Amino acid sequence: MNATGFGWVRRPAWALAALVTSIAVLVTGCAAIPTSSPVRQGEAVGGDREAGAFIRVLARPPAPGADQTQIVEGFLAASAAFESNHEVARQYLAPEIREAWDTSVGTVVYDPTSLDLAESPDAAAVALTAGEVAQISGRGEYAASGAGAQVRADYDLRQVDGEWRISRLPSGLLLSTLDVARAFRSFSLMFVDASGVRLVPDSVLVPAALPGVSTTLVRALLAGPTPWLAPAVTTAFPPGTSLTAAAAPIADGIATVQLSADVLSAGPEARRQLSAQLVWTLRQLPEVTGVRIRAGDSALAVPGADEVQSRDAWPSFDPDGLPADATAYAVVDGALVSGVGDSAEPVPGPLGNGSLTPSSVAVSLDGSAAATLSGQDLLVGKWESFTAEPVLSGTDLTRPTWDPFDTVWVVDRTGAGPAVWRVQLGASPERVEADELQGRRVLDFRMARDGARAAVILEEAGRGLLFVARIEREADGIRIGALRRLESELVDVRQVSWANATSLAVLARSERGTLEPFVIDPNFAVTAPGSLPEVRSLAAAPARPLLAVTATSQVWVDRGFGWRAEGSATEVAYPG
């Protein structure tokens, strides 16, 4: 029966919202995922939040005499408490289904402000409808739902010893955006890129209240990358490698990972890589100061590593992929300079001496080369040998962007559809397969510094929507695929930069209508560093201040204490 059918009795959404609020006890700050709440203000790009921060849910068991709708409301609220396999939520279920309810299949996330509960005329069922926000897979992948998506769930009820209990319900969890924000924490599982020299983060959501987060992370890492990222990365753990102990405990800051003998088949380089995967994954837990890897009864021998590997080990695998001495670049009076404000100095060669006028500049990750547009011509080269000879001529080129393989990427927005091109230094342009972009207008395209992902802005119905795509590097070529929408409160996104391996800085409009900088964190929650008038472009990089240029060519810098004016330029850029 339809939830809007005649004769059903509805419970307004605010009633459930009040109940949800009443059962939450605030412990510390919240690690949020997308909600309908306003954009947050003032948090700096790259600012570390306390990794253990979350809101603990204290669920209440069924109240005596509760009616059918109250039972469903209570069950929904209690489902956000993960302790003892949702022990309290199961008390709302009839005995015959109490153990059979399978929560491992995933979670549907709904907007609580759109919730509608309606009792059937015979009072033996309650129908739920709400706007669907996202789905979380059993592996912890967060995937935003499309505009207008709806969720419907039907709950049958019967009397058990004079009290109403749910006798039939869907598999999995149904949680509000508020529930998910309180109940989950975001972590990155680390996998190896196509070259084998750097790590790529695979973001997953983990129930915050579960004991042994270190064990959960290690098991998830050994299970391999999530399906979305898998075609773009690899893992150094040999097939079959598993935890042989019940847990990966942390004692005196040292996480001990006891692996099966399968890991012994890994060669020297693979042992370095899997060590980096473990260390960079577990270092997200603030209590971890080192990692000990064991195989059988002894420590796993890893070339160049101590038995206890420091949380700071394997810096060369840094997923942010930016040298420590990397600086910002700016176009000032028609010349490209390194640095911003008084510290700026011209770069070597034609781009720095004014003989070539740079536009839409992109600098390689190692800072040795640049790409720029001259009209619709793409120019690429090393500083001293840079020339006006185009490597590619297009119709309507996006600003160029570099990957870690000394390759420039650009999208040509032709009348026949977007064409993605990559140009390696000293080589001819190569067109990249990008079937999912066909028939769509690309506003911006930025490679992640790991080379395995790209941020893409597509125009739909006159507004820019933000996506992330994976870069698949196979023997038969390179392709862009699996566009994934990043949900946020932003209504129109116009420009994007990678703030770090997991966060994006964007130039966008919120519901207020002003084009301004925002930061989207690993949970896809949105932060506004602070309003600026008439922002034209921005640049972001790991552990560097956010830069913005306004229509008056004023450069503004945010080092975590608000915007400050520092010189003038027509554009700014960080390597990448």
Q: Is residue 106 assigned to a domain?
A: yes
pLDDT of residue 336: 96
Distance, C-alpha 115 to centroid of its chain? 27
CB 409 within 8 A of CB 421: yes
228-281 pLDDT, tens per residue? 999 999 999 999 999 999 999 999 999 999 999 999 999 999 999 999 999 999
CB 506 within 8 A of CB 499: no
Domain coverage including residue 278? 211-317
Q: Are residues 173 and 70 in the same domain?
A: yes
Q: Are residues 342 and 467 in the same domain?
A: yes
Q: Are residues 53 and 178 in the same domain?
A: yes
CA dihedral 30, 140, 47, 214 (to 10 degrees): 90
Tell me which of 317, 350, 365 is where a domain ends.
Answer: 317
Residue identified by tokens 């060369």 is 316
Sequence letter at residue 87: E
Give me the chain's average pLDDT, please. Answer: 88
Q: Is 532 helix (H, G, I), strand (E, B) or coil?
A: coil
Q: Are residues 419 and 310 in the same domain?
A: no
- Proportion of the chain above pLDDT 70, given as a percent: 89
Q: Is residue 322 assigned to a domain?
A: no
Q: Are residues 162 and 224 in the same domain?
A: no
CB 321 within 8 A of CB 198: yes
CA distance 399 to 418: 14
Q: Which of 317, 316, 314, 328 is nearest to 541 (CA)?
A: 328
Q: Are residues 225 and 137 in the same domain?
A: no
Q: Which of 542, 539, 540, 463 is nearest to 508 (CA)?
A: 463
CA distance 65 to 42: 47
Q: Are residues 540 and 393 in the same domain?
A: yes
> Can you give the CATH number for the domain in which 450 is found?
2.120.10.30
Q: Are residues 354 and 445 in the same domain?
A: yes
Beta bridge mates, 330: 337, 572
Q: Are residues 284 and 340 in the same domain?
A: no
Checking if the pLDDT of 404 tops 90, the result is yes
Checking if the pLDDT of 490 tops 90, the result is no
When divided into structural domains, the chain yields a total of 3
Q: Distance of CA 282 to CAs 156, 249, 275, 279, Å?
A: 43, 11, 11, 5
Tell me which of 184, 201, 227 is where a domain ends.
Answer: 184
Tell me which of 317, 346, 377 is where a domain ends.
Answer: 317
Q: Are residues 113 and 63 in the same domain?
A: yes
CB 30 within 8 A of CB 182: yes
Q: Are residues 357 and 461 in the same domain?
A: yes
Residue identified by tokens 């690309």 is 442
Could you tell me the pLDDT band of residue 360, with boundaries at 50, 70 and 90?
very high
Q: Is residue 200 assigned to a domain?
A: no
Q: Is residue 174 assigned to a domain?
A: yes
148-180 pLDDT, tens per residue? 899 999 999 999 999 999 999 999 999 999 999
Q: Is residue 191 assigned to a domain?
A: no
Query: Which parts of 399-525 are beta strand (E)?
Result: 401-403, 407-414, 417-424, 430-432, 441-447, 453-460, 463-474, 477-485, 492-498, 504-509, 515-520
Residue identified by tokens 């084009």 is 515
522-573 pLDDT, tens per residue? 766 788 888 888 999 999 999 999 999 999 999 999 998 889 999 999 999 9
Q: Distance of CA 258 to CAs 291, 474, 511, Å?
A: 11, 33, 50
pLDDT of residue 446: 98
pLDDT of residue 38: 43
Q: Which of 505, 528, 411, 416 is nearest to 458 (CA)?
A: 411
Q: Is residue 190 assigned to a domain?
A: no
Q: Is residue 201 assigned to a domain?
A: no
Q: Are residues 254 and 154 in the same domain?
A: no
